[in-house]
Amino acid sequence: MGDLNEGKHSEECGVFAIVGHPDASLICYYGLYALQHRGQESAGISVTQGNRIHTVKGTGLVSEVFTKEDVLGTVGNAALGHVRYSITGEGGIEDSQPITVKMWQGQMAFAHNGNLVNARTLRADLERSGSIFQTTSDCEVIPHLMARTEQSDPFKAFTSISHMIMGAYSLCILTPQGVIAAKDPNGFRPLCLGELDGAYIVCSETCALDAVGAEFIRELDPGETIFIPTPDSKNSRCSLNPRVISSCKNACRAHPSLCVFEFIYFARPDSDIYGVNVHAARKALGRRLAQKDECEVDLVTGVPDSSISAATGYAEEADIPYEMGLVKNRYIGRTFITPGQSVREIGVKIKLNPLKRVIAGNRVLMVDDSIVRGTTSKYIVNLFRAAGAKEVHVRITSPPYRFPCYYGIDTSSKGELIASNRSEEEIREAIGADSLRFLEVKDLEEILGEKVGTLCTACFTGQYPVPVVDMVKPGRIE
Ligand code: AMP
């Protein structure tokens, strides 16, 4: 099964676009800082002043990629930024985004979050009829498809091809006339609209709006495409009034299924998605775990950072003291992005250190948001035992992660998922815990679904809301 994801460029990324601000480049840069948790592999910013687009991108963190000159020296009133987190393998600097292209409709920059499930098929067709690709990113099929339309208006060109692209995309396109922003009909990934001093912002998470002092306007609807013209746009190619946001909704295709993992793990706790605060949601998941549990322990602890909210929820509900059991080194990226299992294990070791004085002699209940390969849980259970814990109980605020994600979350192939072919008892044994409990899909649906609508839970159930066109070959998924 290890080859299921060969050539797959899954990208759980962050996008930030701003239109109509004299300091567009600087604001975009700060916006990307706030989205850094969504991708640490590469970062890029494209800026325009209504003519040509200037792009700076590179591998590494936002703080490493851009110089002061890049940010302050690039004049423009519209900018598009991206942070990228890709699967291992191909995808170096040439795959970092924004991807800038010169098309007959004008110069444009593309940045997206998600994964198109039919990009390989589309690309093969396009290549057969002469298209030459510059990257291995799934996103690059979009400009190629747009260039083949007869629409000179980029907004119309995109909306006329959007039915051809399948899967997850929260996409922004920077054109000299303004920004096009689109969410796939399932709305797998978040994308919201905000306002700052009369300028509009489109970004992956509300925490980036807060970071730059912008007001949240609304989340884009699944299947919605908007166009935000630049104030000085002559709209020579766009038949739209300046400063009026045009929206086009494909209601018949809309079939909302927001990725539940955004709440479980990805999004920052200070972000809201469809009005639901991520920290509050995680706390509620932790409470639910406690409601279903009767574990006698001395303290509850969470795996920083993503599980602290859930652990405090558990502790409050169970009336057991919450303690800081682990200290996270904040100056390294996420270990998941490191290729190869042995190197990944070293990554975990550098990342977390137990507080021996808290742990020693105690029965510890550790809350984490997920078990994917099992590396983290196994390692932390061992750490706690080595630090003198009498017992280590593990509680997970999601169900067993059994199926790969094809909509943009990096979980690699099914064979690597510890839960793909193990019972809960076998997983407990594999990670060495005294006890192990998970939440069920219905818990997630009850806690989150009511507020945010239907959720994509394919990683737990194997029920994929959009057919995985490029991957489904007889016998391969199972
Ligand atoms: P693993 O060690 O492979 O079982 O991964 C589970 C741990 O990684 C948990 O502590 C999660 O907080 C975190 N995690 C879950 N999903 C991801 C992901 N897609 N990328 C990075 N880290 C993740």
Taking only the tens place, the pLDDT of each residue in 384-404 is 999 999 999 999 999 999 999
Q: Is residue 296 part of a domain?
A: yes
Q: Is residue 132 part of a domain?
A: yes
Q: What's the pLDDT at 384?
A: 97
Residue 303 in contact with ligand 1 by CB distance below 6 A: yes
**Alpha-helical runs (H) found in 162-229:** 206-211
Q: Domain of 318: which CATH number?
A: 3.40.50.2020
Q: Is residue 261 part of a domain?
A: no
Taking only the tens place, the pLDDT of each residue in 211-240 is 999 999 999 999 999 999 988 765 433 434
Residues 401 and 451 occupy one common structural domain: yes
Best residue for ligand 1 mutational test, from 262, 336, 402 (most atoms within 8 Å of Cβ): 336
Contact 108, 237 (CB under 8 A): no
- Global pTM reads 0.91
**Alpha-helical runs (H) found in 35-118:** 62-65, 68-72
Residue bearing the bigger pLDDT, 9 or 294: 294
Q: What's the pLDDT at 244?
A: 56
Distance CA 66, CA 56 (A): 7
Residue with tokens 């994509």: 456
Partners of residue 59 on adjacent β-strands: 42
Residues 173 and 243 occupy one common structural domain: yes
Q: What pLDDT band is residue 7 in, cutting at 50, 70 and 90?
A: very low
The arithmetic mean of pLDDT across residues 344-362, rounded, is 82
Residue 374 in contact with ligand 1 by CB distance below 6 A: yes
Residue 402 in contact with ligand 1 by CB distance below 6 A: no
Residues 18 and 120 occupy one common structural domain: yes
Contact 352, 326 (CB under 8 A): yes
Q: Is residue 38 part of a domain?
A: yes
Q: Is residue 272 part of a domain?
A: no
Total structural domains within the chain: 2
Instruction: Report which protein residue has its CA nearest ligand 1's atom 9.
Output: 370
- Spatial CB neighbours of 339, under 8 Å, sequence gap ≥ 6: 88, 89
Atom number, ligand 1, closest to the C-alpha of residue 374: 4
Whole-number CA gyration radius for the chain: 22
Task: Give me ligand 1 centre to Cα 336, in Å.
Answer: 7
Taking only the tens place, the pLDDT of each residue in 89-129 is 355 788 899 999 999 999 999 999 999 999 999 999 999 99
Q: What's the pLDDT at 237?
A: 39
Domain that residue 335 falls in: 277-461
The arithmetic mean of pLDDT across residues 150-158, rounded, is 95
Residue 334 in contact with ligand 1 by CB distance below 6 A: yes
Residues 221 and 295 occupy one common structural domain: no
Residue bearing the bigger pLDDT, 399 or 340: 399
Q: Is residue 115 part of a domain?
A: yes
Instruction: Name the active-site residue from 13, 192, 203, 459.
Output: 13
Q: Domain of 32: which CATH number?
A: 3.60.20.10
- Spatial CB neighbours of 119, under 8 Å, sequence gap ≥ 6: 138, 139, 141, 165, 167, 470
Distance CA 354, CA 352 (A): 7
DSSP 440: -
Q: What's the pLDDT at 231?
A: 83
Per the annotation, the verdict on 13 as an active-site residue is yes
Contact 303, 380 (CB under 8 A): yes
Residues 230 and 366 occupy one common structural domain: no
Question: Residue type for 329, please?
Answer: N
Residue 86 in contact with ligand 1 by CB distance below 6 A: no
Atom number, ligand 1, closest to the C-alpha of residue 12: 19
**Alpha-helical runs (H) found in 362-472:** 375-386, 424-431, 441-444, 450-452, 458-461
Task: Give me ligand 1 centre to Cα 375, in Å.
Answer: 9
Atom number, ligand 1, closest to the C-alpha of residue 418: 4
- Spatial CB neighbours of 375, under 8 Å, sequence gap ≥ 6: 335, 341, 344, 345, 348
Residues 164 and 231 occupy one common structural domain: yes
Q: What pLDDT band is residue 249 in, cutting at 50, 70 and 90?
A: confident
Residue 375 in contact with ligand 1 by CB distance below 6 A: yes
